[in-house]
Amino acid sequence: MTDDRRSAGAPTLEDVARAAGVSRATVSRVINGVRNVDPAIQEVVRQAVSVTGYAPNRAARSLVTRRADAVALVVSGAGVEAESGAGAAAGDGGSFTAQVFADPFFGRVVTGVVDYLRPRGMHPVLMFAETSRDRDEVVGYLRQGSADGALVVSTHAGDPLPGLLAEAGLAAVLFARPARPVPINYVDLAHQDGARLAAEHLLARGCRRLATISGPLDVPAGRARLTGFRDTLARHGHAYTPVAEGRFTQESGEAAMERLLAEHPDLDGVFAANDLMATGACHVLREHGRRVPEDVAVVGFDDSSAALACRPPLTTVRQPVEAMAAEMARLLLDRPTGPSSPATSVIFEPELVVRASA
Amino acid sequence: MTDDRRSAGAPTLEDVARAAGVSRATVSRVINGVRNVDPAIQEVVRQAVSVTGYAPNRAARSLVTRRADAVALVVSGAGVEAESGAGAAAGDGGSFTAQVFADPFFGRVVTGVVDYLRPRGMHPVLMFAETSRDRDEVVGYLRQGSADGALVVSTHAGDPLPGLLAEAGLAAVLFARPARPVPINYVDLAHQDGARLAAEHLLARGCRRLATISGPLDVPAGRARLTGFRDTLARHGHAYTPVAEGRFTQESGEAAMERLLAEHPDLDGVFAANDLMATGACHVLREHGRRVPEDVAVVGFDDSSAALACRPPLTTVRQPVEAMAAEMARLLLDRPTGPSSPATSVIFEPELVVRASA
DNA sequence: GTGAAAGCGCTAACAA
DNA sequence: TTGTTAGCGCTTTCAC
Query: Are A98 and A92 within 8 A, CB to CB?
Result: yes
Question: Which residue from A minimizes the CA distance to B139?
Answer: A55
Determine the pLDDT at residue B157. Answer: 84
Name the packing angle between helices B24-31 and B13-20 (round to 10°): 100
Residue of A nearest to B84 (CA): A115
CA of B60 to C1' of D12 (A): 14
Asked whether the beta carbons of residue B107 and residue A90 sit closer than 8 angstroms, the reply is: no
Name the residue among B89, B141, B143 with its Cβ closest to that of A10.
B143
Provide the 3-class DSSP secondary structure of residue A68. Answer: coil
Reduced to 3 states (helix: H, G, I; strand: E, B; else coil), residue A154 is strand
**Can you give the C-alpha Rg of chain B in angstroms?**
26
Largest CA distance in chain A: 91
Q: Which helix (H) or strand (E) holds A157?
A: none
B74 closest CA partner among B8, B40, B125, B11 = B125
For the full predicted model, state whether its pTM sits above 0.85.
yes
Which residues in A lie closer than 8 A to residue B90 (C-beta atoms)?
Answer: 108, 111, 322
pLDDT of residue B6: 38
Query: What confidence score (pLDDT) does residue B96 get?
Result: 83
Q: How many CB atoms lie within 10 A of CB A190?
A: 16
Q: How far is the CA of B3 from the C1' of C12 (A)?
A: 26
Cβ contact (<8 Å) for A145 and B57?
yes
Query: pLDDT below 50 — which residues of chain B?
Result: 1-7, 81-93
What pairs with residue B245 in β-bridges?
B214
Position B94 scores a pLDDT of 64
Nearest-CA residue of chain A relative to B306? A102
Q: Which residues pair with B173 in a beta bridge?
A: B151, B185
Per-residue pLDDT of chain A (358 residues; tens, 9 = 90+): 333 433 457 899 999 999 999 999 999 999 998 878 999 999 999 999 999 999 999 999 999 999 999 999 999 987 554 444 333 333 344 678 878 888 889 999 999 999 999 999 999 999 999 999 999 999 999 999 999 999 999 988 889 999 999 999 999 999 999 988 999 999 999 999 999 999 999 999 999 999 999 999 999 999 999 999 999 999 999 999 999 999 999 999 999 999 999 999 999 999 999 999 999 999 999 999 999 999 999 999 999 999 999 999 999 999 999 999 999 999 999 875 555 567 899 999 999 999 999 9
CA torsion, points A279, A283, A284, A290, in degrees to nearest 10?
Answer: 110
**Span CA (A59) to C1' (C10), Å:** 8
CB A326, CB B88: distance < 8 Å: yes
Contact (CB<8Å) B125/A126: yes
Identify the CA nearest to A48 among candidates A22, A75, A78, A25: A22
Asked if B90 and A100 come within 8 Å (Cβ–Cβ), the reply is no
Tell me, rounded to whole angstroms, the distance of Cα B129 from its chain centroid. 14
In contact, B52 and B15? CB cutoff 8 Å: yes
Strand order in the sheet with B70-76: A345-348, A185-189, A172-175, A150-154, A70-76, A123-129, B123-129, B70-76, B150-154, B172-175, B185-189, B345-348
Asked if strand C comes closer than 7 Å to B76 Cβ, the answer is no
Quick check: A294 and A266 in contact, CB under 8 A?
A: no
Considering only CA atoms, which residue is closest to the C1' of nucleotide D12?
B25
In this predicted model, what pLDDT tens digit does every residue of B97-106 receive, in sequence order?
878 888 889 9
Phi and psi at residue B304, to the nearest 5°? -90, 180
Q: Which nucleotides of chain D does any protein CB come within 7 A of?
A: 1-5, 7-13
C-alpha dihedral sign at B259, B261, B263, B268 = positive
| Residue positions counted in chain B | 358
Q: What number of helices (H) and strands (E) belong to chain A? A: 14, 12
Which residue pairs, CB below 8 angstroms and at least 24 apart, start in A255-264?
A255/A280, A256/A213, A256/A280, A256/A281, A257/A213, A257/A281, A257/A283, A257/A284, A257/A285, A258/A284, A260/A211, A260/A213, A261/A285, A261/A288, A261/A290, A264/A209, A264/A211
Per-residue DSSP letter, A212: E
Identify from B49, B108, B274 which residue to disrupt to test chain A contact, counting A C-beta atoms within 10 A and taking the largest count: B108
Cβ within 8 Å, pair B145-A59: yes
The per-type count for chain B, helices as H runs and strands as E runs, is: 14, 12
Phi-psi domain of A93 (left: phi exceeds 0; alpha: psi -120 through 50; beta: other)? left
Query: Which of A104, A112, A127 has the CB atom closest to B102's CB atom?
Result: A104
Please report the pLDDT score of residue A327 as a whole number.
97
Burial class (CB in 10 A: 0-12, 13-18, 19+), A108: buried
pLDDT of residue A337: 55
Closest Cα in chain A, distance from residue B44 (Å): 21
State whether residue B30 is helix, strand or coil.
Answer: helix
Out of B88, B93, B111, whose CB is closest to A323? B88
The residue ranges of DSSP E strands in A8-161, in sequence order, are 70-76, 123-129, 150-154
What is the distance in angstroms measured between the alpha-carbon CA of A57 and the sugar C1' of C9? Answer: 7
Going by C-alpha positions, the residue among B105, B281, B298 that lies closest to residue B189 is: B105
Q: What is the torsional sign of CA B12, B13, B17, B20?
A: positive
Phi-psi region of B235 (alpha: psi -120 to 50; beta: other; left: phi over 0): alpha
In whole angstroms, what is the distance from residue B122 CA to residue B119 CA?
A: 8
Q: Which nucleotide is nearest to B64 (CA to C1')?
A: C8
Q: Across the interface, which of B88, B104, B307 has its CB nearest the CB of A101?
A: B104
